[in-house]
Amino acid sequence: MRSDHITQFGRNGGGKVNISYDDTEGKFGIIDHGDLPGVYTNSGSTSRRREGPESASSLASPNVSRTTFHDSNKDKPLKENSDKCFSDEISIANVKDGDEEGEGRQQWSNPIEFLLSCIALSVGLGNVWRFPITAYKNGGGAFLIPYLVVLLFIGRPLYFLELSLGQFSSYGCIKLWKCVPAIKGVGYSQVVATAAILTYYVSLMALTVFYFCVSFQSELPWSVCDPAWAAMDSCVAVSSNSSLGFSSNSSKQSSSEQFFRRYVVHEAATWTSGIGKPDWKLALCLAGSWLVLFFTLVKGVQSAGKTAYFTALFPYLVLFTLLGRGVTLPGAYDGIMYFLTPQWERLLDGN
């Protein structure tokens, strides 16, 4: 197999230097000359490519001075052997024969899949269940001010930085930061943080799958107080017209809360009781969640790009559905006005 890398860039004095690499011989070659036929233009510099089967060394002529040195790590591509992480001066063209043309790092099938993947990353579970209660507890409309400031001046710039560096270099987060050795630990910390967040969200996926499965009943199990798991003296069925009130000293609990705490997660009365035994139903849902994640990423961006059509569009459908349901509930006007009326004193609250 032969892979030739030919790079040409200008230098002072009007001359040009061609750097060529031959996988067969494992050698770099530097060719100093005035001009070569067959021009590619890239970012103001000129790159040349041969049309014939000649090796890179055949570009040299008797009139051309040529410097050759041996590559001790010839199995690596030129991009990895370069001392530079990124360079605006050097343009690298990989010329491969026949069947080798499709090898290399995977690319997005089309720009739409890449765009949808970015949208899917921006909308998650936090937008559905965490943001509303967070805004409610932190001053309603006043919460939007610090939220938007952090989002626009910290969140999105960092998001764009990672996105741009990844697309430009085609490297993962660990290898990418080697261009700045002083902060290469950032890449490792990103991997650790992603792994921690992943386990957290997969556990939420398992709970979602469990609720989805048990909802296929004529009567929702959390809408009634079932003696099999409910404390009948303190349980209030959500299907009844009873009200729990707003007193924090009330010992009453809704059937949906007791269903989650006593039946789904088997919450212990005290921390000294331990974590309890594994629940086979939740374990099965957790395994199913990991399986879905595996098939989503098994082929890298090729499979992730296809699932992006669903993961990017479906959350917005859910959000608009919940919005339509929420504004039609009793007391919706009071809730909307509470959210739109800012409580400015909460901005000074450190909590």
Tokens standing for residue 285: 């849902």
Listing DSSP states for 252-297 in one string gives -EEHHHHIIIIIIS---SSGGG-S-PPPHHHHHHHHHHHHHHHHHH
**Per-residue tens of pLDDT for the chain, all 351 residues:** 444 444 444 444 445 556 666 666 666 666 555 444 444 444 444 444 444 444 444 444 444 444 444 444 445 444 444 445 554 433 333 334 434 444 567 778 888 988 888 888 877 777 777 888 888 888 888 888 888 999 999 989 988 988 888 888 888 888 888 888 898 899 999 999 999 999 988 999 999 999 999 999 988 999 999 999 988 888 988 876 555 554 544 678 899 999 999 999 988 877 777 777 889 999 999 999 999 999 988 888 888 888 889 988 888 888 899 889 989 999 899 888 888 888 888 777 776
Please name the residue ranges forming H helices in the chain. Answer: 78-81, 111-122, 125, 131-137, 144-150, 156-169, 173-176, 185-214, 255-258, 280-297, 301-326, 332-340
* Measured distance CA(230)–CA(261) in Å, rounded: 10
* Measured distance CA(147)–CA(278) in Å, rounded: 38
Q: Are strands 253-254 and 235-236 parallel, antiparallel or unpaired?
A: parallel
Q: Is 95 annotated as a binding residue?
A: no
Identify which of 16, 5, 1, 88 has the alpha carbon closest to the alpha carbon of residue 49: 5
Q: Is 123 annotated as a binding residue?
A: yes
Identify which of 100, 26, 17 has the alpha carbon closest to the alpha carbon of residue 59: 17
Q: Cβ(316)–Cβ(123) under 8 Å? A: yes
Positive or negative, the CA dihedral 331, 334, 337, 343 is negative
Tokens standing for residue 27: 């050698």
pTM value is: 0.63
Describe the strand order of the beta sheet including 65-70 as a list of residue ranges: 65-70, 27-33, 16-22, 3-10, 93-96
What DSSP character marks residue 141?
Answer: G
Residue 248 has phi, psi (to 5 degrees) of -75, -15
